[in-house]
Amino acid sequence: MKHTLLFLAVRLSMIGTLVVATILCLARFGKWKKDVSYRSMLWFSVAGATIPVLLYPIWIYTDGHLLRFISPMEDLALVLWPASLGLMALEGGTIATQLFVTMILILVNAGLYGLIGLCIGLAWKNLSSVQLAV
């Protein structure tokens, strides 16, 4: 069950990255209105990119110095950053490859959070329009 949820989260991350990138391009060219859904998507994407940037150095430090916290840290990372599973590809690579893969995984996490933010923003927009109609 845990592996199925992780697989689903990684797939949603990839889809979310494409959706967020498309909406950002559409908003740039004036084809998408910058309303509540856009702003919530943007803020959630920023949060999704910030979490791995803050989490990864703590994870590296914990892995090297605090061995008793490795398992809880890995579980936390998989919940907050599902694409961190791709960090296994960094073993034995060059520094440029490691940086590239890490940046891609951060962008994918931003896509997942952006997709969640977009759904929340659209729901908020629809609920607020229903309340105004009443």
End-to-end CA distance of the chain: 42
Q: Which residues contact 106 (CB under 8 A, 6 or more apart)?
A: 49, 52, 53
Distance CA 74, CA 60 (A): 10
The pLDDT profile of the chain, 134 residues, written as one tens digit per residue, is 667 887 888 888 889 999 999 999 999 898 888 888 899 999 999 999 999 999 988 888 887 776 666 677 778 888 888 888 888 777 777 888 888 989 999 999 999 999 999 999 999 988 887 766 55
Confidence (pTM) = 0.85
Q: Output the pLDDT for position 90.
A: 79
Q: Output the pLDDT for position 23.
A: 92
Distance CA 24, CA 87 (A): 27
The Cα-based distances of 88 to 72, 81, 83, 85, 101 in angstroms read 18, 14, 10, 6, 10
Q: Output the pLDDT for position 22.
A: 93
Q: Output the pLDDT for position 39.
A: 93
Buried-exposed string 31-60: b where 16+ CB fall within 10 A, e elsewhere = ebeeebbbebbbebbeebbebbeebbeebe
The DSSP 8-state label assigned to residue 67 in this structure reads: G
Task: Judge contact between 42 and 23, C-beta under 8 A.
Answer: no
Q: Output the pLDDT for position 2.
A: 67
Q: Output the pLDDT for position 1.
A: 67
Q: Output the pLDDT for position 133.
A: 57
Which amino acid, one-letter code, is at 68?
R
